[in-house]
Amino acid sequence: MKEKQISVLPGALMLVVALALFGGCVWSFVQAVKVDNASMVWPALVGIILWSVGLGGFFVVEPNGAKVLLLFGKYVGTVRTPGFHWTNPFQTKRNMSLRVRTLNGEKLKVNDLSGNPIEIATIVVWQVSDTYKASFDVDNFEYFVQLQSETALRHSASTYPYDADDDQPSLRKNASEVSDHLLAELREKLAVAGVEVIEARLSHLAYSPEIAGAMLRRQQAAAVIAARTRIVDGAVGMVEMALNRMEAEGVIKLDEERKATMVQNLMVVLCSEHAAQPVVNAGTLYN
């Protein structure tokens, strides 16, 4: 069953009717006293009882709010129109907020696809879209949203590795893709509770403290290797360009041994982490 929106009587109109009924009851009591006629008291008593019971039918709906109406345990409908209303006073009225809410999830310790323990948390933006499902299909829809968000986050975290060296999607490099996967899973899980998930994104991602140091050293080593590889590639290109230009322009003619020595010196200068110190050779290359 789904939500059924209904219309009820305007509260201002029924307030006028209630005031008129109350005034009629007062007038009837006054007339009964004046003419000393007890039979005129009974209509006034009936009117007072009806007036007292009718007051229970007034209710107010706030903006972005709703009232779920029940009659002796049976769902009647939902009123979403903001304002002052009146309905059957025997109907039970349940408040339901339709405002957008934010769930700031706690940090969870889970294992990624590679089995590494990580800490992860999410922020979920949601609102109630079906008041019937939120009221009657689940016991506590707010707790249901929290529990299902944690479950979906654990599943998404275990689907991806924290970091990947190749083109494989990972939690660290593909945060938007992971968030889309989490959003799709949450929408599927929370539809049964009449909840619409507007946005879901990761708010925290890190290795667990027990392996954070080792993983940091691994990342540093990978960064150093990548930097060294780029430096060597650039140095080789510069040396090749220098030798080719000197040969093409006839600046100097070198035999293979001198070329090897020159290449060695240039590679030391270009790849060294510290500034090279020049050494002046006053003799010849072979002395």
Domain boundary, last residue among 156, 174, 207? 207
pTM for the predicted model, two decimal places: 0.69
The count of C-alpha atoms lying within 13 angstroms of the C-alpha of 25, restricted to the half-sphere facing its C-beta, is: 16
Judge whether 21 lies within some domain.
Answer: yes
Domain enclosing residue 266, as ranges: 212-271
**Whether pLDDT at 285 is above 60:** no
> Are residues 92 and 107 both part of a single domain?
no
| 286 located within any domain | no
User: Residues with Cβ < 8 Å from 7, sequence gap 6 or more?
Assistant: 79, 81
Mean pLDDT across 241-268: 71
Residue 276 falls within a domain, yes or no?
no
Mind listing the pLDDT tens digit for each residue in 132-176? 999 999 989 999 999 999 999 999 888 888 877 667 888 888 888
Residue 73 domain-assigned (yes or no):
yes
- Say yes or no: 125 and 202 in one domain: yes
What CATH number is associated with residue 116? 3.30.479.30
In terms of domains, do 83 and 152 share one?
A: no
Say yes or no: 53 and 133 in one domain: no
* CA pair distance 34, 262, nearest whole angstrom: 129
Q: Do residues 85 and 73 lie in contact, with contact meaning Cβ atoms separated by under 8 Å?
A: no
Summarised one tens digit per residue, pLDDT across range 11-24 is 899 889 888 888 88
Residues 86 and 175 in one domain: no
Contact 96, 128 (CB under 8 A): yes
Give the mean model confidence (pLDDT) for residues 225-254.
74
DSSP state of 5: B
Q: Measured in whole angstroms, how far is the alpha carbon of residue 145 from the centre of its chain?
A: 11
Instruction: Please tell me the total count of domains within the chain.
Output: 3
Q: Are residues 185 and 203 in the same domain?
A: yes
For residue 151, report the phi and psi dihedrals to the nearest 5 degrees.
-65, -45
